[in-house]
Amino acid sequence: MRALVVGSTGLVGRHLVRQLLAEPGVDLVRSFQRRSTGVQVGGRRADEELVDFEALDEWSERLQGDVLFSALGTTRRAAGSQEAQYRIDHDYQVGVAQAAARNGVPVLVLVSSIGADPGARSFYMRMKGEIEEAVAKLPFERVHLLRPGILDGPRGEVRLGERMGLAVARVLARLGAPAGMRPFHADVVAGFMVECALAPSAGEVASDGANGRGEDSRGISGDHPTARRDPEEPFAQPRLAGPRVFRHEPDEILALRGAAR
Ligand SMILES: NC(=O)c1ccc[n+]([C@@H]2O[C@H](COP(=O)([O-])OP(=O)(O)OC[C@H]3O[C@@H](n4cnc5c(N)ncnc54)[C@H](OP(=O)(O)O)[C@@H]3O)[C@@H](O)[C@H]2O)c1
């Protein structure tokens, strides 16, 4: 597997790159980032490309591989405004996904959030929902959207709100609260991302239970103009152009803990 990563220097992204480098089934880890980290695992290094996300056109052709992992994001405080946060979190991730799909990358694994909903009142949840909505329409074969709750792990920067939220989540976890209210260790989320790419059948069965086939992201019927027809058998049931989309909810992500590869 040739893995492409954006958000590789973040809390989840750093774990993800380490896990990918340690995975024998992964032949190449190519990360696109704005600063070098030089992460090594057993003498293996990621192929780090230093890029400007505002100039995606200059490097989008190099998004060639088998899976795109996306764990990019920011906070309003770091970005400076809601508009800047949206530009980074939504536009960068969707832009990279669009380019990868155009290049023929078949699978996208993206970290979204619990509560992601394009109709949400909260700016953050609405933004995450709009990311999900946008990437679910792209011509991938499979799209995996992870919806963790609050992330846990060491950060270089202090995020006061997140720290307070984590303290509460840790207490709730001890009291047996539902998965969505517990902390999500970044290495567990990263492990789940790798699992989605390497063992898709496990994710498929768990993602929607009913038929293990994922949902058609757009509810497109066979008559829809974007449905692809086989020129040899033009009247056969056309293949849908959209990907199978798997939304991985908190309980599913946490269930993988302890079942590490
Ligand atoms: N925090 C939570 O509790 C929580 C909960 C649910 C979902 N999520 C979502 O999960 C994902 C991963 O979260 P995380 O905490 O691992 O993220 P993180 O530690 O904040 O890392 C974010 C990544 O995005 C990159 N990035 C940020 N601004 C950028 C810019 N202007 N240009 C290029 N790259 C930029 C960072 O690169 P640099 O290192 O160069 O800054 C880093 O690689 C995010 O989408 C987040 O919204 C977070």
Using one digit for the tens of pLDDT, what is the confidence trace for 38-66? 888 989 999 999 999 999 999 999 999 99
pLDDT at residue 257, as a whole number: 63
> Ligand 1, residues 15, 16, 34, 187: which to mutate, most atoms within 8 A of Cβ?
34
pTM beyond 0.85: the answer is yes
The domain over range 2-152+184-255 is classified in CATH as 3.40.50.720:
yes
CB 148 within 8 A of CB 193: no
Q: Are 102 and 138 in contact (CB under 8 A)?
A: no
Average pLDDT for 188-200: 92
| Contact assessment for residue 130 and residue 90, using Cβ atoms and an 8 Å cutoff | yes
For a pLDDT cut of 90, what percent of the chain falls above it? 67
Q: Determine the number of helices (DSSP H) and then strands (DSSP E) in the chain.
A: 9, 12
What pLDDT is stored for residue 240 in this prediction? 52
Using DSSP, state whether 154 is helix, strand or coil.
coil
> Cα(10) to centroid of ligand 1, in Å?
5
The C-alpha atoms of residue 223 and residue 243 are separated, in whole angstroms, by: 17
Helices 123-135, 93-102: crossing angle, 10 deg rounding: 0
Please state the atom number of ligand 1 nearest to the C-alpha of residue 7. Answer: 43
Output the pLDDT for position 144. 97
Which mutation among 14, 37, 72 tests ligand 1's pocket best, with the greatest number of atoms within 8 A of CB? 72
Question: Is the pLDDT score of 25 beyond 60?
Answer: yes
| DSSP structural state of residue 240 | P
Report residue 231 as tokens: 């020129």
Within its chain, how far is the Cα of 32 from the centroid?
15
pLDDT band at 212 (very low <50, low <70, confident <90, very high): very low
112/94 Cα distance (integer angstroms): 12
Mean pLDDT, rounded, for 121-148: 97
Look at 214 and 78; give whichever has higher pLDDT.
Answer: 78
Structural contact between residues 93 and 116, judged by C-beta atoms closer than 8 angstroms:
no
**Lining residues, ligand 1, CB within 6 Å:** 7-13, 34-35, 53, 71-74, 88, 111, 113, 148, 150-151, 162
Distance 71 CA to ligand 1 centre (A): 6
Q: Give the tens place of pLDDT for each residue, 60-75.
A: 999 999 999 999 999 9
